[in-house]
């Protein structure tokens, strides 16, 4: 039983987080195809160099 405005606010906030996390879980369950293009030319340490772009991991 909610007896104060603080408890009501806490309950509403918890419900919003629950809905948000459920949405994120359902979103992450859907596979997403990644677009691939370019050519991997070298792997050195934690740096992948691809032609024409470079991405740090």
Residue pLDDT, tens place only, 1-52:
667 889 989 999 999 999 999 999 998 888 888 887 777 777 777 766 666 6
pLDDT category of residue 56 using cuts at 50, 70 and 90: low
Domain ranges of the chain: 5-56
pTM beyond 0.85: the answer is no
Give residues with Cβ within 8 angstroms of 43, minimum separation 6. Answer: 49
Cβ of 48: how many Cβ atoms within 10 Å?
Answer: 15
Number of H helices, E strands in the chain: 1, 3
57 upstream amide cis, omega within 30 of 0 = no
Distances from the Cα of 52 to the Cα of 26, 39, 41, 55, 57, angstroms: 34, 8, 10, 10, 16
């Amino acid at each position: 039983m909610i007896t104060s405005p603080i408890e009501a606010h806490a309950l509403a906030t918890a419900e919003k987080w629950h809905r948000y996390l459920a949405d994120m879980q359902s979103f992450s369950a859907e596979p997403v195809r990644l677009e691939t293009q370019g050519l991997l030319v070298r792997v050195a340490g934690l740096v992948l160099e691809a032609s024409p772009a470079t991405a740090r991991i």
